[in-house]
């Protein structure tokens, strides 16, 4: 409680007394936003990290204390601020989100121990993933920029061009300055883009534990369930109609290069026909 009050006072002082534009890492879950936030904090930047800023979600309990502060004092009154948003390959984001739900969120809500949460056979995990696809969850996951980002910031990212080969771009809209970064950028390029955006020449990505793919900061690969996650990625198949919906989404067509999508399709697509979408 004391820490929360101190942070609230610090954020307010920087905004109202010093006139500083807050730095807010505002991304969908499982995009590597935590690694970026930790790097900013390590560099002395008093950043905020959140997946939600839409004030309607306050009542749903989805906004942390810092996010509530940002929504009330920055987003709703539209005060000057800098936002950094990461975009991850939607297939990898889908697998990471599913794994987090299956190995952490659902077991925790059911009171299962971490050990029990990991006790899942490969065939059972395949069945759960197929159900996840057939229930239409990917479509909801792909909707974040329309259902959350655009609602909160009043910015339609799809109305602004994005160079998928470069992997980052900047949008200035009213009082808000937004840097969009691909999660898959290497740390050097990611740090360089952030350094220019925040005018912090010495900024660097802080290296956390090395992941199973030797790429620090990728959501899911540093978790306790990393072995199960690696097995999921090795075994997962996405039936063609589901794949067509993912590849044809605005997120995929706007942010992901055709060659990268083709590689994902070759790796994960299955010809098997799924049940119809049920949403």
On the question of pLDDT at 119 being above 90, the answer is no
pLDDT averaged over the chain? 87
Q: How confident is the model at residue 62 (pLDDT cuts 50, 70, 90)?
A: confident
pLDDT at 159: 97
Burial class (CB in 10 A: 0-12, 13-18, 19+), 182: buried
On the question of pLDDT at 96 being above 50, the answer is yes
On the question of pLDDT at 28 being above 90, the answer is yes
Q: What is the pLDDT of residues 246-278, one digit of tens each?
A: 999 999 999 999 999 899 988 888 654 444 433
pTM of the shown model: 0.88
C-alpha to C-alpha distance for 35 and 138, rounded to whole angstroms: 24
Q: What is the pLDDT of residues 199-240, one digit of tens each?
A: 999 999 986 544 444 444 455 565 788 888 888 888 889 998
Q: How far is CA 135 from CA 31, 131, 260, 269, 274, in A?
A: 22, 6, 26, 18, 10
Q: How does 69-83 read in b/e, with b if 16+ C-beta sit within 10 Å?
A: bbbebbbeeebebbb
On the question of pLDDT at 88 being above 70, the answer is yes
C-alpha to C-alpha distance for 13 and 129, rounded to whole angstroms: 47
Q: What is the pLDDT of residues 138-166, one digit of tens each?
A: 888 899 999 999 999 999 999 999 999 99
């Amino acid at each position: 409680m004391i820490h929360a009050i101190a942070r609230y006072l610090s954020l307010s002082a920087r905004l109202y007394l010093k006139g500083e534009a807050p730095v807010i890492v505002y991304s969908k879950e499982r995009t590597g936003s935590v690694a970026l936030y930790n790097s900013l904090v390590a560099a002395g930047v008093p950043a905020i990290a959140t997946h939600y800023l839409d004030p309607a979600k306050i009542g749903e309990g989805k906004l942390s204390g810092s996010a509530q502060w940002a929504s009330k004092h920055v987003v709703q009154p539209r005060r000057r601020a800098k936002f950094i948003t990461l975009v991850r390959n939607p297939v990898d984001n889908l697998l990471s989100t599913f794994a987090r739900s299956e190995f952490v969120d659902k077991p925790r809500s059911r009171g299962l121990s971490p050990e029990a949460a990991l006790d899942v056979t490969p065939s059972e995990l395949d069945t759960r993933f197929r159900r996840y696809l057939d229930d239409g969850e990917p479509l909801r996951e792909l909707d974040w920029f329309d259902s959350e980002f655009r609602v909160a910031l009043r910015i339609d990212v799809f109305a602004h061009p994005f160079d998928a080969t470069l992997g980052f771009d900047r949008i200035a809209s009213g009082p808000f300055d937004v840097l969009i970064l691909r999660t898959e950028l290497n740390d050097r390029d990611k740090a360089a883009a952030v350094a220019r955006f925040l005018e912090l020449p010495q900024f660097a990505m802080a290296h956390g534990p090395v992941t199973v793919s030797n790429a620090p900061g990728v959501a899911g690969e540093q978790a306790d369930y990393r072995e199960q996650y690696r097995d999921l990625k090795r075994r997962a198949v996405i039936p063609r109609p589901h794949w067509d919906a993912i590849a044809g989404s605005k997120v995929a067509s706007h942010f992901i290069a055709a060659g990268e999508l083709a590689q994902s399709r070759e790796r994960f697509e299955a010809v098997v026909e799924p049940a119809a979408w049920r949403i």
